[in-house]
Structure 1
């Protein structure tokens, strides 16, 4: 795993796009601070750039770097969630501008997955994580289901867990600074 993390970090630092196993499904990712790499992901997925993407961070410290004001409920949800949970926060900061939604929000997850945790920690930054499919097509449940267009469109495919069947996408909860909580995807 150590070698794969180092290879992946090299690609991320060069503005490349990766295909990698996450705590949910296979994801397409890049450095969340690199607007050019984020643009390449939107183009590869054939997705409108007004539809925000999810980021992964290793821990609360990194979360605080990218969200101006973290609601108290967020840390409680992160601690008690029994499945992968992505939270949409108000007032995103220190990220590529084309990654932040038009309303200033960002979706971030702290993954419970050793590879993703180690990758983000060693990279020392947020990593984009969006499902490895063309927009409008089903999310692949395994590496074998990833389309050739996606495989050809990335700069690096992580050589780990390719035999693993993925679970389902994370739950998504929006926590607004005004106290409103909305479940987007249970």
Structure 2
């Protein structure tokens, strides 16, 4: 399935079709406020396993993040955070950031492995926001960005579709993607550490 959605006003009917695919254990490729992402419903372990296979990594070693529609899901999957970290996230999200937080016991075991942290994303993109809101829980996400690939493959939705159409269940055309990934901020320790400088510049 290849579907065109517009960031300023995603078609609700098409959004529901995508959500049905996710609920059925499907894999989708979708736009964010940075690079295109590959993802599935967090509650479907077979789908998460498939995403890991597509990415060519073992789940327990994968640096997947959770895409949330807002910060209300935080306490579902993370340990309590300080007011300072919460205010920082609130100020910078939605936006091109991945915040690394301490995971709690609700994070699916197959996903957590030996890792004690989880990456949280709330992209400033209405398409994925509407999909996650309609789904009612986060989706597991990883970028299809790969430094070894030809650049157009990671930015042009039609080329992405050509490459992945036999591997995933839906590719959403939300316009050209970017080549700069999100900025990763580790908030799991006492001190904030920027692990990767990406598109986002933190406001304190």
TM-score of the superposition, structure 2-length normalised? 0.79
Alpha-carbon distance in structure 2 between the residues aligned to 1:116 and 1:93: 26
Does residue 34 of the first structure (1) align with residue 48 of the second (2)? Answer: no
Matched position secondary structure for 2:129: helix
The structure-2 alpha-carbon separation of the partners of 1:144 and 1:168, relative to structure 1 and needing over 3 Å to count, comes to farther
Which of 187, 191, 198 is residue 175 of structure 1 equivalent to? 187
CA RMSD in angstroms comes to: 2.4
1:113, CA displacement in angstroms?
1.4
Residue 98 of structure 2 contacts residue 182 of structure 2 at CA under 8 Å; is this kept in 1?
yes
Alpha-carbon distance in structure 2 between the residues aligned to 1:116 and 1:7: 13
1:185, CA displacement in angstroms?
0.7
Alpha-carbon distance in structure 2 between the residues aligned to 1:2 and 1:85: 26
Quote the residue 2:136 is aligned against.
124
TM-score of the superposition, structure 1-length normalised? 0.86
1:122, CA displacement in angstroms?
1.4
Which of 99, 104, 108 is residue 120 of structure 2 equivalent to? 108
The alignment covers a number of residue pairs equal to 183
Quote the residue 2:32 is aligned against.
22
Alpha-carbon distance in structure 2 between the residues aligned to 1:147 and 1:12: 17
The structure-2 alpha-carbon separation of the partners of 1:167 and 1:133, relative to structure 1 and needing over 3 Å to count, comes to closer
Does residue 153 of the first structure (1) align with residue 164 of the second (2)? Answer: no
Residue 34 of structure 2 contacts residue 177 of structure 2 at CA under 8 Å; is this kept in 1?
no
Quote the residue 2:5 is aligned against.
none
Quote the residue 2:102 is aligned against.
90
Which ranges in structure 2 are unaligned for 5 or more consecutive residues?
A: 1-10, 198-204
Q: Which moved more, 1:44-53 or 1:25-34?
A: 44-53
1:111, CA displacement in angstroms?
1.7
Residue 92 of structure 1 contacts residue 100 of structure 1 at CA under 8 Å; is this kept in 2?
no
1:147, CA displacement in angstroms?
7.1
Quote the residue 1:185 is aligned against.
196
